[in-house]
Amino acid sequence: MIRLAVRVARSHAEPVLAELLVIAPGGLEERDVDAVTVEYVLYGAAGELPDLGEVRAAAGGALVDVSTSEVADGSTWRDWHRPFDVGPLRVRPPWGPARTGALDVVIDPGQAFGTGAHPSTRLTLELLVDLPPGGALADWGSGSGILSVAAARLGFAPVLACDLEHAAVEATLAAATTNGVDVTASRCDLRAAPGPWAPTVVANLVRPLLLDIAARLDRPPERLIASGLERAEAGEVATAFGGLALAARRDGDGWSAILLTR
């Protein structure tokens, strides 16, 4: 098993991720290297990993490093994906142990975007578990479906997920099936229009995209959890959603998630 790692400047990460998902629709890992660099990781057999010509072109001068290393056996990469708990939830890969009495959220890291270990996912879940459950919830930019499945587990219904990438929509639907919950997932381009409306919205995105959404949001939800933000960005994003007020905030490992309400 070969581990292929692509490091790129965070400010230019989105177009690089888009190109990587074209050549690796089965998914990849995302890891923070430092405050300004993100690493995307693919696994494959020797000789089967894709050519990175288009990725290098998309990255341009923002490309920091491309490296390959051999993974000793199949268990090593699994060690990257361990269960974690947020309130009543346990998020885990299929091989991770369940927790007695917990609401299980089982996510296969082979589907897309890992198993939620990024701080922004955890912070979003911390805010989500504190909300009174019930009613519709929309997940804008669903990725592997962690937040959608968690919301359904907590009692929100219907859950309406959307993402630009086909692979993410498929991964979200697969995660819902694995977990035995009802989630509707579809494609959406959040740069062109907001996602499906619901009283509660989770949007684990990035600052530029959240600002784009805020600029064209005609019908704000009653509650919006916005995340994927570095700490210094949270105040700007909260202000951009002018029809909503900051009700709660979670910070951790240099990242922030905010709850905005009417």
| pLDDT tens digits, one per residue of 205-239 | 888 899 999 999 999 999 999 998 889 999 999 99
Query: In CATH, what class is 109-261?
Result: alpha beta
| pLDDT tens digits, one per residue of 110-130 | 544 555 667 888 999 999 999
Residues of the chain with CATH 3.30.70: 2-77
| pLDDT tens digits, one per residue of 92-102 | 988 889 999 99
* For the chain, percent of residues with pLDDT exceeding 90: 52
CA 233 from chain centre, in angstroms, equals 18
- pLDDT reading at 17 higher than 70: yes
Q: What confidence score (pLDDT) does residue 112 get?
A: 45
- Confidence bin at 52 (pLDDT 50/70/90): confident
- Confidence bin at 68 (pLDDT 50/70/90): confident
> What six digits make up the tokens of 18?
């888009």
Q: Which CATH architecture has domain 2-77?
A: 2-Layer Sandwich (3.30)
- pLDDT reading at 47 higher than 90: no
Rounded Cα distance, 63 and 68, in Å: 15
- The CA angle 181-201-149, to the nearest 5 degrees, is 20
Residue 224: closest CA among 111, 234, 60, 255:
234
Predicted TM-score of the model (pTM): 0.78
